[in-house]
Chains A and B, each alone.
Chain A
Amino acid sequence: MPSNDNMPEMSLYQPVQVEDAISLAGTLAERGWLVGGGQDTYGWIKDRAKRPEALIDLNGIESMRGISETADGIEIGALVTLTELANNALVKERYSLLSSAAGRVASPQIRNIGTLGGNVAQDVRCWYYRRGLNCYRAGGNLCYADTPEGQNREHALFGASRCVAVSPSDTAPALVALEAQMVIRNASGERVVAAEDFFIGPDVDIRHTTVLRAGDVLTAVRIPAKWANAEFYFEKVADRNVWDFALVSISAAMKVTNGTIEESRMVAGAVECTPRRLTSVEQAIQGRARNQETADAVASLASQGAKPLNYNHFKMPLMDNLVKRALTV
């Protein structure tokens, strides 16, 4: 068994125009690999678990950087780093849910390099899959985690379909809660996909975690004005307070008028392969006060329907508790 940590030789393209990146992505297709911050790239490639022929380095494309105000909210370039996102005044003022989530990703060093695009497009962190085992997601015909002896403490409660890996992104649930729009370009043009539809589970496509396909470039993320300055709650529970993936996270956006929740979006992270909308909770709290009584009444809806594996039962009470806190803090 090799233990590799060198970058293998491969071609490197460094376009400075997004059009050139799109052209390269289309031409190279499956043979190419888009890289921004590289925090989900270099491990795969150094491990030789993924073997693209060429890297398309997006970092020279200025148009994919920056955060700007639009007629309906803000637009965030896919190359915006997580540190920039966490510290951006506009985001902090209007969408603190997203800045909070970005500020809890990994570690300061990783946030300084890692991008929003990379954070949402990253592959799952199931340790079996990352070790290069030939599981369903890797093209094989079994799941090592979903077995009586599988070491699956960090795996899914919901949405298992051959694969039980979870979405590892901290910003993804926040984007779903904020009804973000993902701007995707390819040789055929541009399409805009709702964040909720951007992330896909193994039942849809076990080889991908998003709708991005070869030739696609995620260029920006748009946050509509709808949720600006709403009441937000974000919490990530991880073993460590830094440099760790979530055991469970909660992203909540609530419009509260005169103490009453008029509308809400509650999304849990790390419990399913996609950010999990807690629609039953959203429905249950509509028209109710944001208080302890409501929290106590609805929290258990969060984990309803969960199918725990042998080491992840704790995620059920943890989900419920985080929903409770979102409604009471």
Chain B
Amino acid sequence: MTYMHIGKNFTPPDVEAKVTGAARYTEDFRRDGMVFARLLTSPLPSGRVVSIDASEALAMEGVLGVFTADDLPPSLPPANPALAKDFITYIGQPILAVAAESDLIAENAIEKIKIVFERRPFVTDPLDTLLEGGPDPYPTGNTLIRNAAAGAAAAGTTASGTDVGRIKWSLDQVTAFRNGREPVGATFGEEWAYGDVAAEFAQCKTIVEEPFVTIGYPHHSLEPRSGMAFWENGKCYFHGSLQSHTVGHAQLSAMLEIDPANLVFINENTGGGFGSKIFPYPIMAVTGKFARKLNRPLQMRITREEEFYIGSARSGMQGWLKVGLKDDGKVGAVDVIIINDAGSGGGGSAGSSAEHISLMYQPTAMRFRGVALYTNTTPRGAQRGPGQNEMASVLAPIMDKAAREGGFDRLAMRRANAPRPDAKFGPRQGGLSSSYMPEAIEKAAAMFRWDERVAQPKVTANNKVRGIGLGMGFHSAGANGYDGLLRIATDGKIYLHTGVGNLGTYSYAGVLRAAAEALQCSWENCVVVHGNSDLNLPHSTYQGGSNTMFTETRSSHVAALDAIRKLKEIAAADLGGAADDYSVGGERVFLTSDQAKGLTFAEAAQKAIDLGGEYSGQVYPEDINATTKRSVEAMKGTGLIGVAKDTLPKQGTAPGFAIAFVEIEMDLDTGKYDITDYTAVAECGTVVHPQGLSQAMNGGGVWGIGMAGYERHVYDPQNGLPANVGLYQSKPPTYLDVPAQMLTAGMDMPDPQSPVGARGIGEPAQGCGAAALMSAISDALDGHLFNRTPVTPDMIVNHVAQNGFNTGELKTNTF
């Protein structure tokens, strides 16, 4: 299909400001009379506050106040409190905030505060708390239990609806699991299965059984969770940093205990979130409420170190996997156990991990058992492809082993099991909106020249070996039911309103191209309206789960369709004929049979104002969200309003797929490797913004390299202290650790459930990269399985030296 805008590169409106540094982030905002707040955080991994003596701090010149948990609604475990009091569950957990006339005075004041703590037992490895008699991270247990009456709690929020319970295994069960065997008779928190697993295993020619560990790691959003709030005339003006905009607005209002109409949320640019800022986070309550308590504009500045603590982290896994291959290379059965490290709160993503296996390898029968266990480490939450990506990384070498033992080429085995359009997956055996994954595999393999490279020599130089690998990523990438909103004004411009957050991916603008496409108007005549709830934004999707592109092209499209209908009706009423006699294009609505007869958008907008009613927003659809209604109310009478809820048909999961191939040259002396080729193909429906897709694939690939080879939590089990809170200690890969050139492409084949054919891709871009690199590392070492991410040079050196010092057990959060 030939599009006017879709599939074309464009310059998003914020690019120049980002490049020049003019773009403003939360900490850039100042207000007359603004004061500075800083946090005092816990030195203990577990315990409670017995007493706080802030008298010396409060007596200091320039100190304005102290804000504690007593200033907030009570919070019970396992909710993640904004400020802890009775349940301290990790080192670095915020205890109180101090406000002062300057940042330095606030910092000085914190040193003067005396707190008496009571210590409690703590734990940093889930298997240690799982053991009967082992320490529990909370006084009442080690795992989340759902309180059915109140509903589920959202991860990383103070929502109620859950309790802390206890799951324990016997010494024999834990020992078996630590040593890579199935823990017979163990209790789990979550289980599902489909098909006859035992019968299918019985038919499998090749059975591989392996343990695995993936270590969680922090999000390290470069813009920390700083916030600035002030209150005027009963309204709270809040400068914050979220991935989503309008979805977060209502939740932030609730957090601040105010009507959404009284919250102005301003967030034009966001310096990274990676899943950790999809929704408002607890410390925002302190920022807003402390400002109200002092009746002063207040900036709560979060340091880099504090961002490590409260900025969320990926959950880790300790697991066991059994997979069976049939004679034809198809996966017959899978049995998987996953223990998630849920940190001090948030939970794990084991179900998503299992669904990744179910979809990407299409086993005839599968069983999943899992439990998420709390530890006294930082809270965990969604991080790019939560569950799927870490599973992809450890799964790829294991599936390679199965292929080798079954006598199959690794690519051929993936080809045989690839999810097709009729694929089913997960416990509900749900389907897909579409799938071109088999075609993506072929395309990527051809780009990488797999067959040629498989035949090439392994040893490249003295003590250097090649390895090639492949990996696949998946994430559900599309939601529905959100609102679209636009206004055609009397200046003839099209104001495209969006409540999508601006992560820096440019999707907030890219999705609006679907409206411009439907209106057949020039992009230069469109104005993107976003980033400030006072600008009248619609209820848009949460910006997470790779769903923005699918979801918001739909809502943009339906808003445009509503505007087109109104344009045609206005033209027909003014110029005669029926609405269907008219067409839209070139910023005009015109008679299809005589294009000279028509109205400009400016003229039509004026007529919409004159007509009133639904044409200019006095009347609006009943089914739109309250946020959108409020915005339309505020815009009424200012032009032609296009507004609608996305009620387009949607069935099944809209998938984001990606496949990557990696070639490395590994130095066996040093355990280091160079990535000599990186090729990845996205299967995300129609490509809306080629440059955006390229950046998404490259960025995801780089992060995948980090997952496979660099990043992890390290905690000292002696004292619960994290070893690598700083960026340099956490070691995300640098420019010199990744290939200078990464070859990427998109399938550019339309999903039938999107009006422009688009689906999302963000998260699989990481998973495929991590998996492909893990696969290549294993291949370089003749199929050796570390069964652990990340794989670091010391592990490779130890393996080559055969000195027996590699981590053999399922330890986590350690080197």
Task: Flag if A243 contacts B729 (CB, 8 Å).
Answer: no
Task: Flag if B107 contacts A150 (CB, 8 Å).
Answer: no
Dominant SS among interface residues on chain A: loop
Task: Flag if A151 contacts B734 (CB, 8 Å).
Answer: no
Partner of B41, one of A1, A107, A318: A1
Q: Is B352 in the interface zone, CB < 8 Å from A?
A: no
A311 proximity list for chain B (CB < 8 A) = 794, 814-815
| Chain A, residue nearest B308 (CB) | A3
Q: Is B809 in the interface zone, CB < 8 Å from A?
A: no
Chain B 258-282: CB-based contact to A (< 8 A → 1; otherwise 0)? 0000000000000000000000000
Task: Flag if A322 contacts B669 (CB, 8 Å).
Answer: yes
B795 proximity list for chain A (CB < 8 A) = 314
Interface centre among A6, A235, A241, A242 (most CB of B within 10 A): A6
Q: Is B74 in the interface zone, CB < 8 Å from A?
A: no
B303 proximity list for chain A (CB < 8 A) = 3-5
Give the CA-CA distance A328 to B729 in the complex, in Å. 33
Give the CA-CA distance A6 to B718 in the complex, in Å. 30
B718 proximity list for chain A (CB < 8 A) = 144, 147, 149-150
Partner of A2, one of B104, B110, B671: B110
Task: Flag if B798 contacts A241 (CB, 8 Å).
Answer: no
Instruction: Indicate whether A127 sits within 8 Å of B723 (C-beta atoms), given known contacts A5-B305, A149-B717.
Output: yes
Partner of A3, one of B305, B798, B801: B305
Chain B 647-680: CB-based contact to A (< 8 A → 1; otherwise 0)? 0000000000000000000000111100000000
Task: Flag if A247 contacts B103 (CB, 8 Å).
Answer: no
Give the CA-CA distance A6 to B719 in the complex, in Å. 27
Give the CA-CA distance A323 to B103 in the complex, in Å. 51
Q: Is B634 in the interface zone, CB < 8 Å from A?
A: no
A144 proximity list for chain B (CB < 8 A) = 716, 718-719
Q: For chain A, residues 1 to 21, give those with C-beta under 8 angstroms from any C-beta of chain B.
A: 1-6, 8-9
Give the CA-CA distance A300 to B92 in the complex, in Å. 44
Task: Flag if A151 contacts B815 (CB, 8 Å).
Answer: yes
Give the CA-CA distance A24 to B781 in the complex, in Å. 58
Chain A 288-329: CB-based contact to B (< 8 A → 1; otherwise 0)? 000000000000000000001001111111100110110010
Q: For chain A, residues 87 to 110, give those with C-beta under 8 angstroms from any C-beta of chain B.
A: 107
Partner of A239, one of B40, B710, B798: B710
Instruction: Indicate whether A151 sits within 8 Å of B305 (C-beta atoms), given known contacts A9-B104, A241-B734.
Output: no
Partner of A240, one of B104, B304, B305, B731: B731
Q: Is A207 in the interface zone, CB < 8 Å from B?
A: no
Give the CA-CA distance A133 to B92 in the complex, in Å. 15
Task: Flag if A242 contacts B794 (CB, 8 Å).
Answer: no
Partner of A243, one of B669, B728, B792: B728
Q: Is A131 in the interface zone, CB < 8 Å from B?
A: yes
Taking the nearest CB of chain A, how far is it from the CB of B305, in angstroms?
A: 4
Chain B 238-249: CB-based contact to A (< 8 A → 1; otherwise 0)? 000000000000
Chain B 707-748: CB-based contact to A (< 8 A → 1; otherwise 0)? 000100011111101011000110101111100000000000
Interface centre among A4, A127, A312, A314 (most CB of B within 10 A): A314
A45 proximity list for chain B (CB < 8 A) = none
Give the CA-CA distance A5 to B724 in the complex, in Å. 17
Q: Is B3 in the interface zone, CB < 8 Å from A?
A: no
Chain A 121-137: CB-based contact to B (< 8 A → 1; otherwise 0)? 00000011001010000
A316 proximity list for chain B (CB < 8 A) = 801, 803
Task: Flag if B669 contacts A3 (CB, 8 Å).
Answer: no
A318 proximity list for chain B (CB < 8 A) = 669-671, 794, 797
Taking the nearest CB of chain B, how far is it from the CB of A93, in angstroms?
A: 26
A208 proximity list for chain B (CB < 8 A) = none
Q: Is A162 in the interface zone, CB < 8 Å from B?
A: no
Taking the nearest CB of chain B, how far is it from the CB of A236, in angstroms?
A: 10
Instruction: Indicate whether A314 sits within 8 Å of B729 (C-beta atoms), given known contacts A237-B670, A325-B669.
Output: no
Q: Is B690 in the interface zone, CB < 8 Å from A?
A: no
Give the CA-CA distance A242 to B91 in the complex, in Å. 29
Task: Flag if A127 contacts B41 (CB, 8 Å).
Answer: no
| Chain B, residue nearest A292 (CB) | B462
Give the CA-CA distance A152 to B39 in the complex, in Å. 30
B723 proximity list for chain A (CB < 8 A) = 127, 151
B801 proximity list for chain A (CB < 8 A) = 314, 316-317
How many chain-B residues does the 8 Å CB contact rule pick out?
Answer: 53
Task: Flag if A149 contacts B39 (CB, 8 Å).
Answer: no
A48 proximity list for chain B (CB < 8 A) = 111
Give the CA-CA distance A247 to B669 in the complex, in Å. 13
Give the CA-CA distance A48 to B723 in the complex, in Å. 18
Instruction: Indicate whether A239 sits within 8 Å of B792 (C-beta atoms), given known contacts A313-B805, A314-B798, A317-B803.
Output: yes
Taking the nearest CB of chain B, how far is it from the CB of A309, in angstroms?
A: 10
Task: Flag if B669 contacts A321 (CB, 8 Å).
Answer: yes
Q: Is B7 in the interface zone, CB < 8 Å from A?
A: no
| Chain A, residue nearest B797 (CB) | A314
Q: Is B306 in the interface zone, CB < 8 Å from A?
A: yes
Task: Flag if B41 contacts A3 (CB, 8 Å).
Answer: yes
Q: Is B175 in the interface zone, CB < 8 Å from A?
A: no
B728 proximity list for chain A (CB < 8 A) = 243-244
A107 proximity list for chain B (CB < 8 A) = 734
Q: Is A65 in the interface zone, CB < 8 Å from B?
A: no
Taking the nearest CB of chain A, how far is it from the CB of B544, in angstroms?
A: 27
Instruction: Indicate whether A317 sits within 8 Å of B798 (C-beta atoms), given known contacts A149-B716, A239-B731, A240-B731.
Output: yes
Give the CA-CA distance A314 to B91 in the complex, in Å. 30
| Chain B, residue nearest A241 (CB) | B736
Taking the nearest CB of chain A, how far is it from the CB of B376, in angstroms?
A: 14
Q: Is B42 in the interface zone, CB < 8 Å from A?
A: yes
| Chain A, residue nearest B802 (CB) | A317
Chain B 752-786: CB-based contact to A (< 8 A → 1; otherwise 0)? 00000000000000000000000000000000000
Q: Is B43 in the interface zone, CB < 8 Å from A?
A: yes
Give the CA-CA distance A8 to B728 in the complex, in Å. 23
Instruction: Indicate whether A4 sits within 8 Å of B107 (C-beta atoms), given known contacts A150-B716, A321-B670.
Output: yes
A1 proximity list for chain B (CB < 8 A) = 40-43, 91-92
Q: Is B179 in the interface zone, CB < 8 Å from A?
A: no
Task: Flag if B306 contacts A3 (CB, 8 Å).
Answer: yes
| Chain B, residue nearest A311 (CB) | B815
B107 proximity list for chain A (CB < 8 A) = 2, 4, 6, 8
Partner of A314, one of B40, B717, B724, B794: B794
Task: Flag if A3 contacts B39 (CB, 8 Å).
Answer: yes
Give the CA-CA distance A308 to B717 in the complex, in Å. 19
Chain B 510-535: CB-based contact to A (< 8 A → 1; otherwise 0)? 00000000000000000000000000
Partner of B714, one of A4, A5, A151, A324: A151
| Chain A, residue nearest B804 (CB) | A313
B710 proximity list for chain A (CB < 8 A) = 239-240
Q: For chain A, residues 128 to 183, give those with C-beta under 8 angstroms from any C-beta of chain B.
A: 128, 131, 133, 144, 147, 149-151, 153
Instruction: Indicate whether A2 sits within 8 Å of B40 (C-beta atoms), given known contacts A241-B734, A317-B798.
Output: yes
| Chain B, residue nearest A145 (CB) | B716
Q: Is B793 in the interface zone, CB < 8 Å from A?
A: yes
Give the CA-CA distance A127 to B726 in the complex, in Å. 10
Give the CA-CA distance A324 to B333 in the complex, in Å. 48
Task: Flag if A240 contacts B797 (CB, 8 Å).
Answer: no
Partner of B734, one of A3, A243, A321: A243
Task: Flag if A8 contacts B104 (CB, 8 Å).
Answer: yes
Give the CA-CA distance A128 to B729 in the complex, in Å. 12
B42 proximity list for chain A (CB < 8 A) = 1
Q: Is B75 in the interface zone, CB < 8 Å from A?
A: no
Q: Is B446 in the interface zone, CB < 8 Å from A?
A: no
Interface centre among A1, A4, A107, A322 (most CB of B within 10 A): A1
Interchain residue pairs A-B with the least CB separation, the first 4:
A321-B669, A314-B794, A317-B801, A241-B736
Given pairs A150-B716, A314-B793, A314-B797, 11 additional interface contacts (CB within 8 A): A2-B41, A4-B107, A8-B108, A107-B734, A128-B716, A151-B715, A235-B670, A237-B672, A240-B737, A244-B731, A247-B793
20 A-B contacts (beta carbon < 8 Å):
A2-B107, A3-B39, A4-B303, A5-B304, A5-B305, A6-B107, A8-B108, A9-B104, A239-B793, A240-B710, A242-B734, A311-B814, A314-B793, A316-B801, A318-B669, A318-B671, A321-B669, A321-B670, A322-B670, A324-B669
